[in-house]
Amino acid sequence: MKKWGEVALGVVTSIGGFLEVGSIATSTQGGAEFGYRLAWVLLLGTLSLAFLMEMTGRLAAVSKRTYADLLRERFGYRFFLLPLVAVFAVSFLVLASEIGGVSIALQMATGISFPWWAVPVALLGWVLLWRGTFGIVEKGTALLGLVAIVFAVGALKLHPAWPAVGRGLLPWAPSENRARYWYLAVSILGASISPYLYLFYSAGAVEDEWTIEHLGVNRVTAGLGNLFGGVLAVAALIAAALVLAPRGIQVDRYEQIAMVLASPLGRAGFVLFLATLCITCFGSTLEIVLAIAYMLAQGFGWAWSENLKPGKDARFAMSYTVVILLAAVPIAIGMNPLALTNVSMVATAASLPVTVIPLLVLMNDGDILLNHTNGWPSNIALVIIALLSVVLLLAALPLQLLGGG
């Protein structure tokens, strides 16, 4: 019974934690500009993330060490600096975007300009990290994040043509406006397969003291949680395809996105959109700050746990303190949150090889995983994801220049 409770909670937290500033922005941009035609990219991103989370969760449950720990131990400190720097840089950009997402939601609600909200949002996040535990951060924000289900309600209320949605789930290439289409595809993949998601998940498995007994929970959480989360992202794309695309509205600013729910659901949809943007971005803010601090602490061998008092892991606590306050700066000085989000999603996509390719080695290491190494289906999936990550690395910069708008 306890195990089923853990499974349910794990799935719910994955659903609640799936949508955040990047997936909301890129899904609605995709829907507004290309209708359902980018839905297959969301499906690809969701499946990739589910595989990566299952593997890093299995790694943590069997070895009792995080993915970052194992990266350093197996490949050496010099190699570890590469993923450390790459993940730190892109996660910092994504973190600033999430703070921007909360700030813009508060601006839409109050009329007070978003730069004024950046520092208070960062301070509130810091207080929660300083005073709270891992359970509060992970489960509290993710449970509140279930408000994102409003996207599914909005999409259903708009009565999409399901055969057309189904066709959107098949890979497709446009004959015109190709640079923009592939740019959005890369952004969507960057938003779906952020390294911080599986690094945080792996550290969370260690924080929650997972063992081999949890491998079933891990599989269901990674699979079902991400699948349902992906459905919400597809719902956001559908809503944008039905509200914005027919009118020729492109998403140039976050403010335009709220109308995708105000149209089908009226004032309630508008209010719930603001709540969704605010809560999901705030939840992601906390997760990303922790993911960065975990990576630094695990990389440099410091004491770390969100469940310890800050005095017991001072360098870990100092890391998240400095990072969250610095990440508020770009928004506080008025940087456009949507532009920042788009750049950070493309940068995230480009950074994937350094965390995905080493997983191929670790997941087949019998010394670490005993008899829980990858079978051939998982290895095929991981090779495909690794190849995809290399394509994203090569395509990201040209597409940012050509299709970034």
Partner 1 sequence: MRAVLISIARAGASLALALTAVACGSPPELDKQLETLSSWTATMQLAREEHGEGAITTTYATQLRDGAQSALEETQKTIGPAAHSKVDSSYAAAALDSLRTAIRQLNAETGS
Task: Tell me which residues touch partner 1 (CB under 8 A).
Answer: 107-111, 170-174, 178-179, 181-182, 243, 247-250, 252-253, 255-256, 258-259, 262-263, 266-267, 269-270, 391, 395, 398-399, 402-403, 405
The first and second tokens of residue 357, run together, are 């390719």
Those residues whose C-beta lies under 8 Å from the C-beta of residue 303, and which sit 6 or more positions away, are 297, 312, 313, 315, 316
By beta-carbon proximity to partner 1, the closer residue of 218 and 400 is 400
Minimum CB distance to partner 1, residue 108 (Å):
5
Separation of alpha carbons 135 and 175, rounded Å:
48
Minimum CB distance to partner 1, residue 323 (Å):
30
Minimum CB distance to partner 1, residue 113 (Å):
9
What DSSP designation does 255 have? G
Rounded to the nearest 10 degrees, the angle between the axes of helix 67-75 and helix 353-362 is 80
Separation of alpha carbons 287 and 303, rounded Å:
18
Minimum CB distance to partner 1, residue 107 (Å):
7
Separation of alpha carbons 141 and 12, rounded Å:
11
CA distance readout (Å), 1 to 4, 8, 57 = 5, 11, 21
By beta-carbon proximity to partner 1, the closer residue of 106 and 363 is 106
Minimum CB distance to partner 1, residue 225 (Å):
25
Answer for the pair 396, 349: CB distance below 8 angstroms, yes or no. yes
Minimum CB distance to partner 1, residue 63 (Å):
34
Report CA torsion sign: 32, 37, 41, 47: positive
Separation of alpha carbons 309 and 129, rounded Å:
10
By beta-carbon proximity to partner 1, the closer residue of 325 and 386 is 386
At 321, the amino acid letter reads T
By beta-carbon proximity to partner 1, the closer residue of 252 and 301 is 252
By beta-carbon proximity to partner 1, the closer residue of 146 and 395 is 395
By beta-carbon proximity to partner 1, the closer residue of 301 and 398 is 398
Minimum CB distance to partner 1, residue 200 (Å):
30
Backbone angles phi, psi at 333, to 5 degrees: -90, 5
By beta-carbon proximity to partner 1, the closer residue of 259 and 324 is 259
